[in-house]
């Protein structure tokens, strides 16, 4: 636990963790249903269904109309005749409530204006501000904009908090129908030397957004000292919302903000900030930087108590913000002609397959699992699992049973490729004809990047081919080879496991030969032993159950168990690594990566203690060393033990899997982030760009005059990012089209 306020954090983190649990959501939904049922009036019912705080859009008015209709038709079955609804349309009533609620919040907001919030509207006021800014080694900064599209919207005002001078300002520059305002260019020019000076610290909440917005107006901000959104995720990766106002509402009492802080949407709904009156805008916007600064100080209290986290934040996450901005700004070029052509080709294929499917199954929607299940299991009487699933695995199992299955699988493949990628990507182009997705450095609990709008990390090979390098440029893909097993080799310290890497042998072949006790010559590329070993090692790292592993390998559960036991016998330190992780997370409720990133599991200790105690009792009762694989069907386990153990088994084992995985996957993520920093330094000096990252691969945009020596220097940037006691290897692909390149040895170098 990083933050001191144990009770609060514990509750918070528990809530956050449970939010991830589907069971909790179901329970919540059931509770909601019950409350709705119990509501005695239409108003109550509305509240329960939508929540009073959510009155904001025209959409809700539409809903309201429907509620009214439902009331009138007696559908809701309530004893509230329509005429009793205050004589007005329901929608009007809601509009009234909505307005009243908003106005109340806004009135409260206006009344709350502190004396040190200042509106800057004249040149004199602005010059006085700049004079004070000269004495600030660091300040908080924020932009207000017409919207959240960083490639379309514009800045309508900026706010600053000057901590030494002790006041907070909002400078409107493009508000509609408002009082006197300075011009945007004048204000940005005045602030430029402070915003671009790397030695003047800027503190922002979600700096990436503001850096993009400043770039819209031709300014490159430098000198990000602290990003409170990112730091929050480092302090608590389970934080459910890192929206500034939500953090203020939740933690504000620890840094001087009592009561609720309303989000923009709460106060202004879908309005454009340019239309917000200046007095209101001041309080809202100046509060943003004010909050950001206080949150920053509070976060620093906690970070300084945890040197490892401070280091992780300062040296890794904070400088990465600039790289995220660069990746997003760079974007990906799409070969639209190829996309068009390929799309047509796929559509042609799809039409053929559809014809076949109609002949087999009739005119149904083949995209609908429900309709499909009805045809497959009810009409055609194919053998159904208990779940009537229509997923690929199930369908493959039914292949021999019906001639329509094969084309159905083909249909799935084609619609996925076409609908999710080939047709979708060209729609994502921005004004400059490139795709600018967003990369989020703190979206995952393990530290990996996430990518969205579109997700460029899950393009299948065939869709990657739509992405090309612009003329005069090349795409460079440098990926870490087997980074996760290498991390396991390093962290476990297992000398036998490290051996193949140190000797330059193939990992899986060597492992397979040892575990299966067959000559190395029988474990070469493509051999069944090597294949099994590869899956087996993945199972070890991901904590796969013996049941799943047996299915994957097509062997019995007992055989799978013997296989993994055999592996642990040969590599005892790997086993110890896993057991140590379990012990550590039981004791500390967190695990850490090689570079200090933490994943916390609040509340695990208690459950793990129960788990271990009950496991010991079961072993004693059975006279075995471990809880048997057939725990659930085992008749020898006393009923009450079975019930009690069953209650904690799933969750404890889940945490243990996540903990082991977080150490390995998280360390790999750290290494990639370190690599990106090295690459950024190298490419920036040459005007090249970092394009993106796909977990163990860095994508770069480089000039086509690049030399072999330069490629090798880029590779060195990657390799030296990993400080492992086993060699680290990278592979580079040189491409004009993503996924269609050559290895550096095969490339025809210009120079």
Residues 6+ apart with CB under 8 A from 57: 269, 270
In the numeric block, which tokens belong to residue 278?
Answer: 């200046």
| Total residues at interface with DNA (CB under 7 A) | 73
Q: Is 27 in the site for DNA (CB under 7 A)?
A: no
Interface pick for DNA out of 262, 287, 436, 695 (rule CB under 7 A): 695
Can you tell me whether residue 135 is helix, strand or coil?
Answer: coil
Nearer to DNA, 631 or 682 (CB): 631
Does residue 695 contact residue 518 with C-beta atoms inside 8 Å? no
N-term to C-term CA, the chain: 55
CA 141 to chain centre: 25
Residues 60 and 50: beta-carbon distance below 8 Å: yes
Contact with DNA (CB under 7 A) among 392, 518, 716, 742: 392
Residues 619-678 that bind DNA (CB under 7 A): 631-633, 646, 650, 654, 657-658, 661-662, 665
206, 384, 457, 607: which one binds DNA (CB under 7 A): 457
| Neighbour-count burial for 166-178, b at 16+ CB within 10 Å, e otherwise | ebbbbbbbbbeeb
Distances (CA, A) of 261 to 101, 249, 251, 253, 541: 15, 5, 11, 11, 43
Q: Which residues contact 297 (CB under 8 A, 6 or more apart)?
A: 255
Per CB under 7 A, the list member of 177, 199, 365, 521 interacting with DNA is 365
Q: Which is nearer to DNA, 39 or 619 (CB)?
A: 39
Residues 527-586 that bind DNA (CB under 7 A): 538-539, 542-545, 547-549, 552
- Listed in sequence order, the residues at least 6 apart from 287 whose beta carbon sits closer than 8 Å to its beta carbon are 117, 168, 261
Least Å from the CB of residue 707 to DNA: 27
Residue 416 in the binding site for DNA (CB under 7 A) = yes
Please state the closest distance from residue 495 (CB atom) to DNA, in A.
27
Nearer to DNA, 166 or 461 (CB): 461
Closest distance to DNA from the beta carbon of 277 (Å): 26
Contact region with DNA (CB under 7 A), list: 96-104, 444-452, 504-512, 562-570: 444-452
Is the Cβ of residue 370 or residue 616 nearer to DNA in the bound state?
A: 370
Let me know the angle formed at the C-alpha of 96 by 91 and 102, rounded to the nearest 5 degrees: 125
Q: Which C-beta is closer to DNA: that of 290 or that of 649?
A: 649
**DSSP H helical segments within 429-516, as ranges?**
461-464, 483-492, 495-503, 507-516
Interface of this chain with DNA, residues 203 to 262, rule: CB under 7 A: none
Minimum distance between the CB of residue 585 and DNA, rounded to whole angstroms?
A: 13
Bridge-based pairing of strands 224-227 and 201-204 is parallel
Taking CB under 7 A as the rule, does residue 696 contact DNA?
Answer: yes
Tell me how far, at minimum, the Cβ of 374 lies from DNA, in Å.
Answer: 9
Residue 158, beta-bridge partner list: 143, 171
383 sits near DNA (criterion: CB under 7 A): no
Nearer to DNA, 263 or 552 (CB): 552
Q: Considering the complex, what minimum distance in angstroms separates the CB of residue 316 from DNA? A: 18
Cα separation, 684 vs 361, in Å, equals 57
30-49 residues in contact with DNA (CB under 7 A) are: 49
Residues 48-67 that bind DNA (CB under 7 A): 49, 59, 62-63, 66-67
Q: Which helix (H) or strand (E) holds 528?
A: helix 528-542
CB of 709 to DNA, least distance (A): 27
Q: Is 611 exposed, middle or buried (0-12, 13-18, 19+ CB in 10 A)?
A: buried
Among positions 459-498, residues that touch DNA (CB under 7 A) are 459-461
Shortest Cβ 550–DNA spacing (Å): 9
| Residue 451: CA count within 13 A, CB half-sphere | 18
Residue ranges in 417-436 that form contacts with DNA under rule CB under 7 A? 419-420, 424
Q: Output the smallest distance, CB 488 to DNA, in A.
A: 14
Complex with DNA: residue 631 or 747, whichever CB lies closer: 631
The single residue among 4, 455, 613, 705 that binds DNA, judged by CB under 7 A, is: 455
């Amino acid at each position: 636990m990083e933050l001191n306020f144990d009770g609060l954090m514990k509750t918070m983190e528990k809530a956050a963790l449970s939010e991830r649990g589907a069971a909790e959501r179901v329970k919540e939904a059931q509770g909601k249903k019950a409350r709705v049922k119990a509501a005695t009036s239409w108003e109550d019912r509305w509240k329960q269904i939508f929540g009073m705080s959510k009155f904001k859009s025209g959409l809700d008015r539409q809903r309201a109309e429907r509620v009214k209709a439902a009331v009138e038709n007696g559908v809701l079955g309530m004893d509230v005749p329509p005429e009793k609804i205050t004589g007005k349309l329901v929608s009007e009533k809601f509009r009234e409530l909505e307005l009243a609620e908003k106005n109340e919040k806004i009135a409260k907001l206006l009344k709350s204006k502190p004396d040190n919030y200042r509106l800057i509207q004249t040149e004199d006021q602005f010059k006085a501000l700049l004079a004070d800014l000269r004495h600030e080694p660091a300040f908080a900064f924020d932009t207000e904009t017409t919207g959240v599209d960083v490639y379309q919207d514009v800045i309508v005002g900026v706010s600053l908090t000057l901590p030494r001078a002790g006041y907070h300002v909002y400078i409107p520059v493009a508000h509609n129908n408002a009082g006197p305002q300075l011009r945007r260019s004048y204000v940005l020019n005045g602030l430029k030397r402070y915003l671009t000076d790397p030695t003047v610290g800027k503190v922002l909440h979600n700096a990436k957004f503001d850096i993009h917005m400043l770039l819209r107006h031709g300014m490159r901000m430098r000198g990000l000292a602290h990003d409170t959104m990112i730091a929050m995720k480092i302090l608590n990766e389970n934080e459910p919302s890192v929206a500034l106002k939500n953090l203020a509402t939740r933690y504000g009492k620890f840094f001087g903000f009592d009561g609720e802080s309303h989000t923009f949407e709460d106060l202004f709904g879908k309005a454009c900030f340019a239309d917000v009156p200046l007095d209101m805008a001041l309080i809202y916007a100046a509060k943003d930087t004010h909050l950001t600064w206080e949150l920053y100080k509070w976060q620093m209290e906690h970070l300084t108590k945890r040197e490892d986290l401070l280091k992780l934040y300062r040296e890794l996450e904070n400088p990465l913000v600039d790289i995220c901005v660069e990746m997003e700004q760079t974007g990906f070029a799409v070969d639209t002609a190829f996309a068009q052509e390929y799309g047509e080709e796929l559509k042609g294929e799809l039409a053929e397959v559809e014809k076949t499917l109609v002949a087999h199954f009739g005119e149904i929607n083949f995209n609908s699992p429900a309709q499909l299940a009805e045809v497959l299991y009810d009409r055609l009487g194919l053998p159904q699992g208990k779940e009537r699933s229509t997923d690929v695995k199930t369908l493959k199992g039914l292949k021999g049973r019906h001639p329509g299955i094969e084309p159905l699988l083909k249909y799935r493949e084609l619609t996925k490729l076409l609908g999710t990628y080939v047709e979708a990507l060209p729609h994502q182009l921005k004004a400059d004809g490139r795709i600018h997705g967003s990369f989020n450095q703190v979206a995952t609990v393990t530290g990996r990047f996430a990518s969205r709008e579109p997700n460029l990390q899950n393009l299948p090979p065939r869709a990657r081919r739509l992405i090309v390098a612009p003329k005069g440029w090349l795409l460079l893909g440098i990926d870490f080879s087997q980074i996760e097993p290498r991390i396991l080799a390093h962290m476990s310290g297992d000398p036998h496991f490290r051996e193949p890497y140190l000797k330059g042998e193939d990992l899986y072949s060597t492992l397979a030969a040892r575990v299966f006790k067959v000559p190395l010559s029988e474990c070469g590329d493509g051999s069944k032993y090597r294949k099994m070993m590869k899956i087996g090692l993945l199972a070890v790292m991901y904590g796969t159950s013996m049941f799943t592993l047996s299915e994957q390998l097509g062997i019995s559960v007992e055989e799978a168990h013997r296989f993994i036991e055999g592996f642990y016998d040969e590599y005892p330190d790997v086993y110890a690594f896993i057991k140590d992780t379990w012990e550590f997370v039981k004791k500390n409720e967190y695990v850490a990566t090689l570079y200090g990133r933490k994943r916390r599991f609040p509340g695990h200790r208690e459950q793990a203690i129960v788990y271990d105690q009950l496991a010991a009792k079961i072993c004693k009762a059975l006279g075995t060393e471990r809880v048997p694989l057939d725990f659930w069907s085992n008749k020898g386990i006393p009923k009450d033990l079975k019930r009690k153990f069953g209650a904690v088994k799933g969750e404890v084992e889940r945490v243990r899997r996540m903990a082991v995985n977080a150490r390995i996957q998280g360390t790999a993520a750290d290494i990639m982030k370190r690599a990106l920093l090295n690459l950024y330094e190298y490419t920036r000096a040459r005007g090249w760009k970092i394009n993106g990252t796909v977990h163990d691969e860095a994508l770069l945009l480089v000039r086509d005059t690049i030399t072999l020596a330069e490629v090798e220097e880029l590779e060195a940037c990657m390799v030296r990012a990993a400080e492992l006691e086993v060699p680290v290897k990278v592979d580079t692909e040189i491409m004009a089209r993503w996924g269609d390149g050559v290895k550096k040895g095969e490339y025809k170098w210009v120079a």
